[in-house]
Structure 1
Amino acid sequence: MEDRDWLIIKVLQENKNVTKTAQALFISQPSLTARIRHIEDEFGVKMIYRGSRGIHFTPEGDYLAQRAQDMLTNIRHIKEQVVNMSAEIRGTLRLAAPNYLAKFKLPRLLGLFKERYPNVEFDVINAWSRDICSLLYNQDVQVGFVRTDNSWNGEKHILHEEPLCIASKKEISLKDLPQLARIDYHTDTSYKTFLNTWWSENFSRPPRISMTVGQLDICKAMVVNGLGYGILPSTIFYDVEPLHQIPITDKAGNPILRKTIMLYQTEILELKMVNLFVNFAKTVDFNHLL
């Protein structure tokens, strides 16, 4: 068995389709079919059979698919440990970050790190904060960045805190918000719950949401063009003319801050490259990563 055979099994199990698997792996369909036959011959079993809705795995095939992820993880760990023995800092950092950080903070952070260690590459997964813990637990990534504090039991470090504000192109009053058009955007469930709680503590009427867009930067564009107000991190407006902003506060009058948190497992710091990156991220001023 070659390394790529385990990858073929994994991707084939995910897609349940030979054509889609060949496309995902950038190989021809005849070549993929030949590799599947080779795998079946090596183990002496039938791994898949064709049905009316694509392919199906036999019990033996299901077992191989379950072991494929373990084998790929072990192979990756072996390669990482071998690279770690070298005095040279090189390898691929596997990271995960939600959309806001991946767009507005992470590119500059990675660029600065690569200036110091040019032989380091990056594999970045864009995911919701709620899903990043699972990626860390499953060792799909080495370091995760999230926007909401959660039940992560490993190491965590707050890298940055930025105030949330009500932003509008024209001057508005806090008491008038229920009557005004609000631009919402899709975000983590925990953050959405927080906003709903904050609203219910301050207003007896629900917000008048005029539109819900897919991402925070789209919400920003709508606000900048006067289509409504938004509840956003204040630093996102660094590149536009000053808008009317009202900081939002808790019951005690303290500013409400949105955190940027770095998560990782203690044992991953045994890899020199990861250790250097984690410590580097802790020293960077996130206010200037724009």
Structure 2
Amino acid sequence: MNEKDWILLSTLFDEGSITKTAQKLYISQPALTYRIKQIEKEFHSEVIKRSKNGVTFTNEGEYLVNYARTMIKELRKAKDNIINMKEEVHGTLRLGVSSNFALYQLPLLLEGFLAEYPNVEINLTTGWSPKIHELLEKEEIHIGISRGEHHWSGERIVLNEETLCVASKDKLHINDLPKLSLIRYQTDFHLKNTFDEWWQSSFNVPPKVSMEVDRIETCKELVKKGLGYALFPSISLRESDHLYTADLVMNNKKILRRTWLLYRKELLGLNIIKAFVRFTKAFYLASE
């Protein structure tokens, strides 16, 4: 097997489908099937079983998937270390970033970083914070930028913290919220749970949910049209939105949400990691 085979096996295990794997890897289904047969021939073992429900890996196949993922990690480490032997900062930085941070703050951060280190390439994955932690644990990314309180045993630095708030087109009173229309959007479990805890501590009736949308920006546009109110992390709001906002308070304290920079201490031996951590810390300290 080679690197392409490792990636093929790992992707096929995640997707569970020949069709989806072929599409994701930009290869034909016959070519993918041929490579599986060659792997089976090399190891004299059946790797997968196909059915109407997709692909199932045999015990031998699962062993090879674990081997493939280990080899992918080791190859990445080897490439990182070889590049690090040169003095200049260059190579590929694998970042995992919370969706809201990526939408509202990451472009400016990356613009400054790449202006200072033009020989760096960014491999970026965005998603909700639990996904970013999962990628860190699997060592599929070098650095994560996560929001909210999640367990992480490695190094972490607070980049900023913001309030959570209610926002509407017109001024409102918090006590009137149960009678007004709430617009909800999909978000990670931890933020949703925080909103729910605040509501339950403030009211003894459920909210009057009038709309549910998949994106925070869609929700904000609906609020701007006066179609209801919503609960937002303040990172997503700008003065140009012209919305009335009021911070959420629980136990006589404003509810705060932190943004964290997460990484493993041992990776600071890599020039590219050290440079990004140093730059990001300076960027946020300077903006305070």
Q: Confirm or deny a common fold (TM above 0.5).
A: yes
The match for 2:203 is 203
Quick one: distance in 2 between partners of 1:90 and 1:230? 43
Quick one: distance in 2 between partners of 1:173 and 1:97? 35
Quick one: distance in 2 between partners of 1:14 and 1:25? 13
Q: CA deviation at 1:36?
A: 2.6
Q: CA deviation at 1:287?
A: 10
Give the count of matched residue pairs. 287
The match for 1:103 is 103
The match for 2:260 is 261
Say if 2:159 and 2:281, in contact at 8 Å, map to a contact too: yes
Quick one: distance in 2 between partners of 1:56 and 1:199? 44
Say if 2:104 and 2:235, in contact at 8 Å, map to a contact too: no
Query: Residue type of the partner of 1:129?
Result: S
Comparing 238-247 with 258-267, which one deviates more in the overlay?
Answer: 238-247
The match for 2:275 is 276
Quick one: distance in 2 between partners of 1:123 and 1:8? 19
Name the SS for the 2:254 alignment partner. coil
- Tell me, yes or no, if structure 1 residue 236 matches structure 2 residue 232: no
Quick one: distance in 1 between partners of 2:286 and 2:105? 9
The match for 1:129 is 129
- Deviation digits for residues 192-231 of structure 1 (CA, Å, limit 9, x no counterpart): 2222222222222222121122122222111111111112
Name the SS for the 2:251 alignment partner. coil
Comparing 102-111 with 76-85, which one deviates more in the overlay?
Answer: 102-111
Quick one: distance in 2 between partners of 1:135 and 1:64? 20
Say if 1:160 and 1:286, in contact at 8 Å, map to a contact too: no
Quick one: distance in 1 between partners of 2:141 and 2:203? 41
Name the SS for the 1:240 alignment partner. helix
- Deviation digits for residues 233-267 of structure 1 (CA, Å, limit 9, x no counterpart): 33533263522222222323x33222111111111
Give the 5 Å matches for 1:70-219.
70-219=70-219
What's the C-alpha RMSD, in Å, of the aligned pairs?
2.1
Query: Residue type of the partner of 1:69?
Result: R
Residue identity over aligned pairs, in percent, reads 39
Quick one: distance in 1 between partners of 2:153 and 2:172? 42
Quick one: distance in 2 between partners of 1:89 and 1:287? 22
Structure 2 residues not aligned, in runs of 5+: none
Quick one: distance in 1 between partners of 2:53 and 2:67? 25
Structure 1 residues not aligned, in runs of 5+: none
- Deviation digits for residues 151-202 of structure 1 (CA, Å, limit 9, x no counterpart): 2121111101122222111111122111111112222222222222222222
Quick one: distance in 1 between partners of 2:52 and 2:250? 57
Q: CA deviation at 1:85?
A: 0.8
- Tell me, yes or no, if structure 1 residue 61 matches structure 2 residue 83: no
Comparing 145-154 with 233-242, which one deviates more in the overlay?
Answer: 233-242
Quick one: distance in 1 between partners of 2:233 and 2:268? 31
The match for 1:43 is 43
- Deviation digits for residues 95-140 of structure 1 (CA, Å, limit 9, x no counterpart): 1122211211112211211111111111122222123222111101
Name the SS for the 1:284 alignment partner. helix
| TM-score for both structures, normalised by structure 2 | 0.91
- Tell me, yes or no, if structure 1 residue 31 matches structure 2 residue 31: yes
